[in-house]
């Protein structure tokens, strides 16, 4: 056909196939058509670049003069320059990208930030507030408030040498390495809270049939208590100076409610020269502390700043303090 074979009619220069490119005038055949029937022309894919109109305006076929041209400027001369102004193209570097430029702009809290990305802890809250005073008691918001306050208090105590601390307490918190380790361990926790991710990373219930000959040998699925709620319990009880309850929540985080933590196997002699019988009790389901090393580290660090809270704000009721 005329469009595919590059034939010449009406004395014009044929522009070739739909994917053909023309140099020197700012026109190029690529992209969708932008003409309608009201223009009196038939549009084919194409457009202009490099000093011409934006790409994707199409190549036209003038039904009156039987000549091919460009849909961008409706020009019929191949050697003539495109009369449309060039389109502004966003530069990837060194320009200010507007809000409607089509270039996605990311914020520091976007999903491309990893859990290891350092956070700024230089501006801690001036005081430790109760849970209801921080965004109406939202657990995620209060955990961030508690972590930032305690890390700030840790840095302040480092500067003055931990006055009033016992030797065993001072040894647990002094040194920049101990603080840096706690900050690094707590950073993934805050990132997960910012992104709204679930903190529960334990084993899910397995609906498959038992792989043991006796169902009593199988471990039991023990539903894990919410990690977010247990951490929130630790923070709220520490603010209330009930450190025994905070420690109890930590035990739920780490050990959970398992009835059997490890698989136990016992071999008992059956009869003379007839081998032995194996009695097995498989472990119960693993919780987040068992499954996720990152969660394990931030739970350790959270327990440590809870101990720091007790050193700074001990309870007048000794039965609510935990002996370190």
- Provide the token pair at 155: 């840095």
Positive or negative: CA dihedral 130, 134, 135, 138: negative
Return the axis-axis angle of helices 293-312 and 176-195, rounded to nearest 10°. 120
Looking at residue 212, what is its pLDDT? Answer: 53
Looking at residue 213, what is its pLDDT? Answer: 52
Looking at residue 149, what is its pLDDT? Answer: 96
Residue 247 CB partners (closer than 8 Å, separation 6+): 303, 306, 322
Looking at residue 261, what is its pLDDT? Answer: 63
State residue 322 phi and psi, 5-degree precision.
Answer: -100, 130
Assessment of whether the complete model's pTM goes beyond 0.85: no
User: Quick one: residue 46, left, alpha or beta (phi over 0 = left, psi -120 to 50 = alpha)?
Assistant: left
Q: Give mean pLDDT in consecutive 10-residue pieces for the chain, a chain of 324 residues.
A: 40 38 47 40 44 48 69 76 66 44 46 79 94 93 96 95 91 91 95 93 68 59 86 96 96 80 71 72 81 94 96 94 86
Cα separation, 43 vs 26, whole angstroms? 18
């Amino acid at each position: 056909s005329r469009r595919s074979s590059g034939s010449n009619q009406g004395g014009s220069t044929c522009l070739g196939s739909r994917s053909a490119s023309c140099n020197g005038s700012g026109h190029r055949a690529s992209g969708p058509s932008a003409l309608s029937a009201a223009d009196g022309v038939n549009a084919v894919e194409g457009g202009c670049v490099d000093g011409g109109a934006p790409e994707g305006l199409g190549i036209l076929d003038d039904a009156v003069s039987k000549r091919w041209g460009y849909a961008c400027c409706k020009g019929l001369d191949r050697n003539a320059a495109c009369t449309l102004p060039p389109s502004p193209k966003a530069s990837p570097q060194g320009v200010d990208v507007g809000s409607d430029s089509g270039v996605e702009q990311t914020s520091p809290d976007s999903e491309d930030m990893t859990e290891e990305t350092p956070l700024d802890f230089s501006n801690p809250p001036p005081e430790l507030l109760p849970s209801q005073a921080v965004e109406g008691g939202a657990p995620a918001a209060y955990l961030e408030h508690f972590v930032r306050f305690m890390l700030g208090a840790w840095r302040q105590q480092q500067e003055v040498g931990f006055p009033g601390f016992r030797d065993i307490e001072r040894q647990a918190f002094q040194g920049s390495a101990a603080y840096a380790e706690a900050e690094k361990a707590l950073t993934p926790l805050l990132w997960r809270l910012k992104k709204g991710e679930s903190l529960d990373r334990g084993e899910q219930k397995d609906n498959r049939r038992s792989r043991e000959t006796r169902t009593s040998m199988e471990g039991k699925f023990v539903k894990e208590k919410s990690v977010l709620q247990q951490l929130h319990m630790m923070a709220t009880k520490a603010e209330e100076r009930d450190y025994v309850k905070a420690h109890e929540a930590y035990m739920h985080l780490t050990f959970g409610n398992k009835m059997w933590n490890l698989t136990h196997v016992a071999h008992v002699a059956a009869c003379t020269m007839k081998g032995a019988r194996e009695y097995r009790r498989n472990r119960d389901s693993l919780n987040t502390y068992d499954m996720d090393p990152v969660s394990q580290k931030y739970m350790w660090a959270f327990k440590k700043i809870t101990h720091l809270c007790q050193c700074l704000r001990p309870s007048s009721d000794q039965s609510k303090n935990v002996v370190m």
